[in-house]
């Protein structure tokens, strides 16, 4: 069973996504110790994060695909799949920041975790202040590799740090899938992104042929953010190739 904390006011829609009413970035906590998960859940929520949980590697992979968290806190000593392998599998389809939180303090474990794709390594016991600082730093880097955290064009604005999308100062409610599509386009503004790239990045490997899925979500996104969805000014279609966000 997937363990997920639904924020108050989270509204489910047809495909299982929720309208973005969460109070902050989504964090997936993966640890087989209930006491650790409980402590992190309480501390992270108190600092404005939305928290999902998993107690084993299988749940971690399922929750990452289903909820598309903004960052993952991952223990290495899981009962079914080691954290190294979880990291490797995640890196096959997502660049979500992964912070390892483990009792293992050997250098070779740290090196291996980072080599597999982890973004940081915190050893238990840990100070919550340090962990929060590392999470914030990872989110800033992920929001935009070049450091630009706000995209603006003709009254349309996206604050990637705060996950807020507005037009003319009015907030626009996007589903997580729509937001992830928009975020990927913003990160690559001006570049043509192929259908396969967007499907692989947002939905994961193995979905590169689900073109209908991409088109439906792109149509919904345009309907929400474009002044005239029938004549898109922000997201341009490159026929037969993919989409491009105009700078």
pLDDT tens sequence across 34-77: 999 999 999 999 999 999 999 999 999 999 999 999 999 999 99
Sign (positive or negative) of CA dihedral 69, 71, 73, 74: positive
pLDDT tens sequence across 19-30: 444 558 999 999
Q: Which CATH number fits domain 150-245: 1.10.3720.10, 3.30.750.24, 1.10.10.10, 3.90.1150.10?
A: 1.10.10.10
Which band of pLDDT confidence, cut at 50, 70 and 90, is reported for residue 7?
very low
Over its C-alpha atoms, the chain yields an Rg (Å, rounded) of 18
Q: Does the pLDDT value for residue 8 go beyond 60?
A: no
Which residue's structure tokens are 């202040």? 129
∠157-163-165 over CA atoms, to 5°?
30
Question: Per the CATH hierarchy, to which homologous superfamily does domain 3-143 belong?
Answer: Response regulator (3.40.50.2300)
Q: Which two tokens stand for residue 213?
A: 């899925």
pLDDT at residue 117, as a whole number: 84
Containing H/E element for 169? none
Q: Does the pLDDT value for residue 147 go beyond 80?
A: no
Q: Does the pLDDT value for residue 118 go beyond 90?
A: no
pLDDT tens sequence across 161-181: 888 999 999 999 999 999 999
Tell me how long the chain is. 247
How far, in Å, CA of 124 to CA of 95, rounded?
24
How far, in Å, CA of 212 to CA of 163, rounded?
26
How far, in Å, CA of 196 to CA of 242, rounded?
8
Question: What are the contacts of 102-111 at 24+ separation with CB within 8 A?
Answer: 102/75, 102/76, 102/77, 103/77, 104/76, 104/77, 109/76
> What SS3 state is found at 8?
coil
What's the Cα-to-Cα distance from 149 to each of 3, 22, 130, 188, 233, rounded to whole Å?
31, 19, 23, 13, 21
The model carries a pTM of 0.62
Containing H/E element for 237? strand 235-238
pLDDT at residue 223, as a whole number: 95
Which band of pLDDT confidence, cut at 50, 70 and 90, is reported for residue 145?
low
- CA-based diameter of the chain, in Å? 57
- Domain ranges within the chain, ordered by starting residue: 3-143, 150-245
CB 163 within 8 A of CB 149: no
As beta bridge partners, residue 243 has: 193, 237
């Amino acid at each position: 069973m997937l363990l997920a904390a639904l924020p108050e006011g989270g509204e489910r829609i047809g495909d299982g996504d929720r309208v973005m009413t969460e109070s902050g970035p989504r964090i997936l906590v993966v640890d087989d110790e209930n006491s650790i998960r409980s402590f992190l859940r309480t501390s992270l929520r108190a600092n404005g994060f939305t928290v999902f949980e998993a107690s084993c590697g299988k749940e971690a992979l399922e929750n990452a695909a289903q909820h598309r968290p903004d960052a993952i806190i991952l223990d290495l000593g899981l009962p079914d799949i080691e954290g190294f392998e979880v990291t490797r599998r995640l890196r096959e389809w997502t660049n979500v920041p992964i912070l390892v939180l483990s009792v293992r303090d050997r250098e070779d474990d740290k090196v291996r975790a980072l080599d597999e794709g982890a973004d940081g390594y915190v050893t238990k016991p840990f100070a919550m202040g340090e962990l929060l600082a590392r999470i914030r730093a990872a989110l800033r880097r992920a929001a935009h590799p070049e450091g630009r955290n706000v995209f603006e064009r003709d009254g349309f604005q996206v604050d990637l740090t705060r996950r807020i999308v507005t037009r003319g100062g009015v907030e626009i409610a996007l589903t997580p899938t729509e937001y992830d599509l928009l975020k990927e386009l913003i990160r690559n503004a001006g570049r043509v992104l192929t259908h396969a790239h967007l499907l692989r990045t947002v939905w994961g490997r193995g979905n590169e042929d689900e073109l209908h899925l991409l088109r439906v979500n792109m149509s919904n996104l345009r309907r929400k953010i474009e002044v005239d969805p029938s004549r898109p000014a922000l997201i341009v279609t490159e026929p037969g190739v993919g989409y491009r966000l105009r700078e």
